[in-house]
Each structure stands twice: as structure tokens, then as C-alpha cells.
Amino acid sequence: MNIITNLKNYFKAKSKGDETIKAPDGICPNCWGKQEWDGDFYKKIKVNNITPEHKTYDSFIHEVASKLDKITLKEDILICQTCNISYKK
Ligand SMILES: [Zn+2]
């Protein structure tokens, strides 16, 4: 599982207007919503028309990734360390 790839896929889908995905793959949807990265993405990336090829886009993705430690679901456990909600595959 590569969180950077999952984040990029997630934001790519969002940019296309896909509202069916609640959180990137492997991330606790409950905590993801609370961290409000969607709003940040909109303010920093979308409004400025920054494309995935741009450096700013990449550093944004890495910034988000660095803050997801506690809400990343482990492959074998699937329990979020922050809110203790468990997820099944
Ligand atoms: Zn959680």
C-alpha cells in the first residue's frame, strides 16, 4: 500500500467531481473528514489551477501524507488508532 499513490488517486477523482469516495484508500474515513484536507485541497490546489505535474501539488500531497500516521489503517488490523473504529475489507 502506497499512501502517496492513494492520495493522488483520491484527489484526482475529487477534481473530476466524484463525490462517492469518502476517503483515500487505507485511511479512516471518519478521521479523514475531521482533518478537512478536502477544503485545504480546494483552497491551495484547485483554486490556483495547480495540476498534478506541478511541484506545489506534490508537496501538498506529501504534507498530507506526513500527517496521516494515526489514521492510517493497518492492513492486518484495520482499526483506526485515533477513533478506534474498525473497518472490514
Ligand atoms: Zn479514525
- Is residue 32 within 8 A of residue 71, CB to CB? The reply is yes
Whole-structure pTM value: 0.85
**Locate cell 490556483: which residue?**
48
Q: What does pLDDT average to in each consecutive run of 10 residues of the chain (89 residues)?
A: 90 91 91 93 94 96 91 74 80
Distance CA 27, CA 58 (A): 19
Q: Residue 48 Cα, ligand 1 centroid: separation in angstroms?
A: 30
Q: Residue 73 Cα, ligand 1 centroid: separation in angstroms?
A: 8
pLDDT at 81: 84
Q: Residue 71 Cα, ligand 1 centroid: separation in angstroms?
A: 5
Q: Residue 53 Cα, ligand 1 centroid: separation in angstroms?
A: 30
